Amino acid sequence: MLEKLDFSAILAIDPGPHISGYVEYDCASQKPTTSGLMPNPKLRKLLKKSKFPAMVYEKLQGMGMMPSKETFATCEEDGRMMECFQGEIIPVTRHEVKLLICGTMRAKDANIRAAIIDMYGGKEDGIGNKKSQGPLYGVKSHAWQALALVKALERKAHDDRVAGNREASG
């Protein structure tokens, strides 16, 4: 595992145009406590009531091509969610996730998921099964990308601390 974040807990969101993946993450135990998919209007209500000290979300970035209508809708949802949240908001790009988790820009979702599972001791220990559930049991779909945001943030905090940059590690 990497160094713990300087928050008690953090909410991670992989935004989508209509439904978003989320993970509620306990920074002390370095494990997700809740995860899933949620319609954006319901997620915004959760964000308004949230007691989380911080939220990390996937910040969209230009890729050199004309964005789709879906991308613009996701950007609008990002803004709505940020308006609802009262704590610290931390943007992390997809490029940062790929580099921090897998060390390469060529990483795909499956590579990122596999790297996260490896962080928790492999599939048997990390995910487990219904009888013997691991800390990642139940993480599905876009919640994996939300979890990747937190794990990338941990890696960045670790790298910043190793480099002696306490202020940037956050």
pLDDT tens profile 14-71: 999 999 999 999 999 999 999 999 999 999 999 999 999 999 999 987 667 777 788 8
Question: Tokens 């990497």 map to which residue?
Answer: 2
CB 46 within 8 A of CB 81: no
Q: Has residue 2 got a pLDDT over 80?
A: no
Residue with the larger pLDDT of the pair 110 and 74:
110
- Cβ-Cβ contacts under 8 Å for 21 (sequence gap 6 or more): 13, 14, 35, 36, 37, 141, 142, 143, 144, 145, 146
Predicted pLDDT at 169:
46
How would residue 160 be classed by pLDDT, with cut points 50, 70 and 90? confident
Q: What is the pLDDT of residue 161?
A: 78
User: What global pTM score does this model have?
Assistant: 0.89
Phi, psi of 119 (to 5 degrees): -60, -25
For residues 96-119, average pLDDT: 96
